[in-house]
Amino acid sequence: MSSLNLDDFTDLIERPDGGMRRDAEARRERQIVPPGSLGRLDDLGEWLAAAQGTVPVRAVEQPRVVLFAGDHGIAGLEVSARPAGSAVELVRDVLEGSRPVSVLARRLGVPLRVVDMALDCDPEALPADVVRHRVRRGSGRIDTEDALTAEEARQAFLAGVAVADEEADSGTDLVVLGDLSVGGTTAAGVLVAALCGTDASVVTGRGGLAVDDLAWMRKCAAIRDALRRARPVLGDQLQLLATVGGADLTAMTGFLLQAAVRKMPVILDGVVGAACALVAQRVAFRAPDWWLAGHLSGEPGQAKALDRMALEPLLDQGVTVGEGAGALLALPLVQAAAALAAELPEVGKD
């Protein structure tokens, strides 16, 4: 498809340090609270030690919320409760601090970054640092046309890689990854169905605003039609993203892979992030070892993708709003696990 060789990620991505994980497990057995009594927090602390390559584990002190934004042409079929082309309104609300993810990020003291990849608006409508990676205005209607050209897919993927490098270079030690899109869950459903070999009805959910039955049927039909276009290109992951993904989903996939290269842990949010992670797993089988599933969103496509990657959600609070909010709720749990692993004293030590 281009000079970009996704196979390189297989060699570039290493697993988290297994030796450090064993050392963390041994240290946990010596701490004053019996092993297992903290439930999954024990496993999280050990996972972080392996990801960081150090025992005791370091505190997660510089997390960051990164949200990739875009509009999808398939939204024109009224598969979403939001009007087609209106993702810019979500972006503005996030930047102004009035969305759930904005409130949570502010309360938790976590910086928030929005990356416009394909919003259907003039770039002058948003700050320059938000739009500087944009590939195009909106993504194609995937039931009848490709979401992106080959060159646009390459640019979007490399933009995601660049954002991951920017975060790692700035000292970010964990990313909460989410999306701001209209029509994105439909594209995500196509990717999950294609990669898991299932029918459209198995992966079709009702989206963040819970569409009615007629909209769900339209969404299911759109996924079915796009799925026919996806199956012939399953062997080429970048072509798959160009055909039925979109600029934001393609960038998220590149981000996830490069974050694993840079050994930067990521908490996934909903079905869009899970779909991108599933594509990334096809590229590099070790990549999911660097990710956590923040929460269960209720979207059947997300559950299917997480099961395929053997990722167990940290929380199940019924959060369907998207935009990284559910994943951000899981961040304090991860930080608590790090604190307990590092600060609980060992038996017989002062």
Catalytic residues, by residue number, are 323
Q: 78 with 209: CB under 8 angstroms?
A: no
Q: Which residues contact 122 (CB under 8 A, 6 or more apart)?
A: none
Q: 250 with 154: CB under 8 angstroms?
A: no
Q: ω into residue 56 within 30 of 0, thus cis?
A: yes
Q: How many CA atoms within 13 Å lie on the side-chain side of 329?
A: 20
DSSP string across 193-206: HHHHT--HHHH---
What is the rounded CA–CA span in Å between residue 291 and residue 303? 15
Q: Any idea which residue has 């927090």 for tokens?
A: 41
What is the rounded CA–CA span in Å between residue 106 and residue 84? 29
What is the rounded CA–CA span in Å between residue 224 and residue 241? 16
What is the rounded CA–CA span in Å between residue 67 and residue 65? 7
What is the rounded CA–CA span in Å between residue 141 and residue 292? 31
Q: Which residues contact 188 (CB under 8 A, 6 or more apart)?
A: 249, 271, 272, 274, 275, 276, 301
E strands, the chain, where?
Answer: 63-71, 112-118, 174-182, 266-268, 291-293
Q: 266 with 259: CB under 8 angstroms?
A: yes
Alpha-carbon 123 to chain mean position: 24
Q: 177 with 272: CB under 8 angstroms?
A: no
